Structure 1
Amino acid sequence: MIHVLADQNLHKIEEIIPPQAKLTLYDPAEGIPNPKGFDAMLVRTVTHLNERTFPNIPESLQFIGTGSSGTDHLDQEYLEAHGITLADAKGSNARAVAEYVMTALLLWRAKFAPNEEFGKVGVIGVGEAGSAVVKLMQNFGIECVEYDPPRQERDKSFSSATLEEVLDTDILTFHVPLDLKGVYATHHWLDDEKLKGRSYKLIINAARGGIIDEKALMKSFKAGGIDQYILDVWEKEPDFNTEVASQAYIATPHIAGYSEQAKVNATQIICKKMAAHFGLNENAIDYEIHPKTENLEYTSCDLTTILTELHPIMGYDKALRDLFDQPDKGRLFRNLRNEWPYRYEYPSLRILQTLLDEFSELQKLGVQPVTQ
């Protein structure tokens, strides 16, 4: 039996935790709890563990897992120096992020460029999420320019576009971690210098706040260099910049990777890694999600309405805008992330065949027909 301290918001943690683990839940809104006496700790991106926030690491603690793809909230060097094994859920939300980006693109085109081609899309970062974005865009015949020099170094089968090639596109979408230092630092990757003299139809950031310099973004937007932008992540999150958010076509509270499937995947991945570390039974950690039928037969038949019925992106956008004048918008931002029900990814949704026949985009997204 191992003792596990886990964020209470890790999805389905009580159902997925190995039976050989005694689970204690904590509320991250109340701060980082004392992990004394625990063998493992399971966290989310809201819990930042470093020498300042987590100074007293007990000898009992061997394993820390995060239910996220990114690990910039964990000081890897500091934690590993204390004998901690770290694990993440990289790739768990790749499909969800890809669906967010493709849904946003379809809504953007319907509003600003109906019946036009998307143009070339520069994909910055082609790891799990970026690759999923490329794959989904290919269903729509979109030309993607893939930029990921670090991947080219470690993966000889991958060839990255040059910086000039990726910047010479119509749309940019970001899928890189937030790295503050090093050869491939991504903090303020998109800045005044890269935006100078260029024009973009659309810029999307569904990766990490700080990858885009928001001041440079606004400067280019106001000068007409950027037609529209969509942000899911923010530089000083959760205390986001309301001016930047107000000018965005779509502004959401860091939920691009949120889906029932992504959240279950994340919890399963870190529980399986934890089980492997402690020699527990990994086969007891599978959780099945059944398809969901959406009754859209009375929905007005236009693609925008159907997409906003199937995906909550515009609902999140409205909810975030409602926070602009709130004095505690940071807390309310967190609540939006934690309290809304998770959507189902498109391949797990079932709708009438007549709608799939009328809107080929839904089939390309992976939506399935209702079965009798």
Structure 2
Amino acid sequence: MIHAAADQNLYKIKELKPPQVQLSLYNPSDGIPDLNGIDALILRTVTHLNADTLPHIPSSLKFIGTGSSGTDHLDIDYLESNGIHVADANGCNARSVAEYVMTALLLWREEHNPDQPFGKVGVIGVGKAGSAVVEILTDFGIKCVEYDPPREQRDSTFNSSSIEEVLDCEILTFHVPLNKKGEYPTYHWLNEEKLSGHQFQLIINAARGGVIDEIALMKFYVEGRIQNYVLDVWEGEPDFNTKVAKHAFIATPHIAGYSEQSKVRATEIIFDKMADYFDLKNACPQYEKLTKTVDLAHIEYDLVKLLTRLHPILGYDKALRDLSARPDKKILFRNLRNEWPYRYEYNFLKVRSEILNEFPELKTLGVSAVG
């Protein structure tokens, strides 16, 4: 029997655990639990592990898994030097992030340029999430410029654009990890120097807070040198700069990758990796991914109203702005992430066929017809 401590907010954690695993759930708000006698720790991005937060690693602990694509909340070198195998759920939320980006783009176009085609979109970071973004943009006939020099180094089939080519795009969207060191640091990758000399129409960050210099971004917006920006991630998260949020076209509390399906995938991936590491023979339980029919009858819709019904992006935006003046906004930011129901990804949604015929954008997003 494997003894595992798991964040109580990990989705379907009880339903998806392997039969040979005994779970002890903990509340991350109470800090890191007692790990003595624990073989595996399963956590989320809200829990940071390093030499300061986990100075004494019990000998029993061998596996740490994070139900997230990113690992910047973990000091992997420190953990691995202490004999810990670290696993992530890379790719679990790629489709959800891509849908967030495309939804933001459609909402932005409807408000600013409803009859104009999108310009070139520079995708910075073309891993799992960035590749999913390229796929959905291509479905909409949008020209993508893919920039990812580290991937070009490790993947002989991929050719990265030059930095000049990607900065020549009208729209930029970010999908990179936050790295402050190494050959390709991403901290404040988009800074005042790179913003100068360009007239970007829209900049989207659904990667990690700190990849963009938010103060420089806001300054260029206020000066009219950027038309709009969309931020889902923030420096100092769960705190966030209320002035930066105020000027954003859309501001959300790090939920781009949140969906019913992505959360199930994350837990499945981590348990599968844990089962492999501990050589557990019985397969992990499978969770049935159901579709949902959205009733859109008897209401006059335009594309903005439809997207608002099908995706909570503008609901999160309003909620984030409503809590900006609150002294406890850091706690409320976390609550927005933890307490709102997860949305269904577009290809798990069904609507009446006449809606799809009138709004082909929905079909391109993956929504299907009832029946």
**If the TM-score is normalised by the length of the shorter chain, which range does it land in?**
over 0.9
2:18 equivalent to 1:18: yes
Q: Aligned partners of 1:124, 1:318: CA distance in 2, in Å?
A: 27
Q: Aligned partners of 2:113, 2:236: CA distance in 1, in Å?
A: 32
2:36 equivalent to 1:36: yes
**1:242 corresponds to:** 242
**2:144 corresponds to:** 144
**2:270 corresponds to:** 270
1:224 CA displacement: 1.2
**1:74 corresponds to:** 74
The alignment partner of 1:123 has SS state of strand
Equivalence map 1:286-325=2 (5 Å): 286-325=286-325
2:162 equivalent to 1:162: yes
Q: Aligned partners of 2:362, 2:96: CA distance in 1, in Å?
A: 15
Residue pair 2:4, 2:21 contacting (<8 A) in 1 also: yes
**Which string of whole-angstrom CA distances, capped at 9 and with x for unpartnered residues, describes residues 31-85 of structure 1?**
1112111000000000000000011100000000000000000000000011000
Residue pair 2:3, 2:38 contacting (<8 A) in 1 also: yes
**Which string of whole-angstrom CA distances, capped at 9 and with x for unpartnered residues, describes residues 98-131 of structure 1?**
0000000000000111111110000000000000
1:282 CA displacement: 5.4
**1:201 corresponds to:** 201
The 10-residue stretch of structure 1 (214-223 or 11-20) with the greater mean CA deviation from structure 2: 214-223
**Which string of whole-angstrom CA distances, capped at 9 and with x for unpartnered residues, describes residues 312-331 of structure 1?**
00000000001111001000
**2:222 corresponds to:** 222
Q: Aligned partners of 2:265, 2:298: CA distance in 1, in Å?
A: 33
**Which string of whole-angstrom CA distances, capped at 9 and with x for unpartnered residues, describes residues 290-314 of structure 1?**
1111001123221100000000000
The alignment partner of 2:245 has SS state of helix
Q: Aligned partners of 1:345, 1:62: CA distance in 2, in Å?
A: 34
**Which string of whole-angstrom CA distances, capped at 9 and with x for unpartnered residues, describes residues 16-45 of structure 1?**
011111000000011111211100000000
Q: Aligned partners of 2:284, 2:156: CA distance in 1, in Å?
A: 36
Residue pair 2:19, 2:282 contacting (<8 A) in 1 also: no
Equivalence map 1:60-99=2 (5 Å): 60-99=60-99
Is the alpha carbon distance of 1:282 and 1:354 closer, same or farther for their aligned partners in structure 2, counting shifts above 3 Å?
farther
Identity across aligned pairs (percent)? 64
**1:54 corresponds to:** 54
Is the alpha carbon distance of 1:357 and 1:282 closer, same or farther for their aligned partners in structure 2, counting shifts above 3 Å?
farther
Q: Aligned partners of 1:297, 1:176: CA distance in 2, in Å?
A: 40
Residue pair 1:272, 1:285 contacting (<8 A) in 2 also: no
Q: Aligned partners of 1:206, 1:243: CA distance in 2, in Å?
A: 18
Give ranges in structure 1 of 5+ residues lacking alignment.
Answer: none
Letter in 2 for 1:213: D
Residue pair 1:204, 1:231 contacting (<8 A) in 2 also: yes
TM-score norm. by structure 2 comes to 0.99
Aligned length: 371
**2:341 corresponds to:** 341
Letter in 2 for 1:339: E
Q: Aligned partners of 1:269, 1:300: CA distance in 2, in Å?
A: 41
Q: Aligned partners of 1:281, 1:17: CA distance in 2, in Å?
A: 13
**2:125 corresponds to:** 125
Q: Aligned partners of 1:119, 1:83: CA distance in 2, in Å?
A: 49
The alignment partner of 1:134 has SS state of helix
The alignment partner of 2:361 has SS state of helix
Q: Aligned partners of 1:30, 1:3: CA distance in 2, in Å?
A: 20
**1:329 corresponds to:** 329
**2:369 corresponds to:** 369
The alignment partner of 1:350 has SS state of strand
1:288 CA displacement: 1.1
Q: Aligned partners of 2:298, 2:282: CA distance in 1, in Å?
A: 45
Name segments (4+ residues, structure 1) moved above 4 Å: none
**2:186 corresponds to:** 186
The alignment partner of 1:71 has SS state of coil
The alignment partner of 1:283 has SS state of coil
Residue pair 1:299, 1:306 contacting (<8 A) in 2 also: no
Letter in 1 for 2:330: G
Q: Aligned partners of 2:70, 2:210: CA distance in 1, in Å?
A: 14
**1:134 corresponds to:** 134
**Which string of whole-angstrom CA distances, capped at 9 and with x for unpartnered residues, describes residues 126-151 of structure 1?**
00000000000111100000000000
Q: Aligned partners of 1:101, 1:63: CA distance in 2, in Å?
A: 33
Superposition RMSD in Å:
0.7
Q: Aligned partners of 1:218, 1:88: CA distance in 2, in Å?
A: 33
The alignment partner of 1:344 has SS state of coil
**Which string of whole-angstrom CA distances, capped at 9 and with x for unpartnered residues, describes residues 163-184 of structure 1?**
0000000000000000011110
Give ranges in structure 2 of 5+ residues lacking alignment.
Answer: none
Q: Aligned partners of 1:202, 1:184: CA distance in 2, in Å?
A: 24
1:281 CA displacement: 3.2
The alignment partner of 2:283 has SS state of helix
The alignment partner of 1:330 has SS state of helix
The alignment partner of 1:275 has SS state of helix
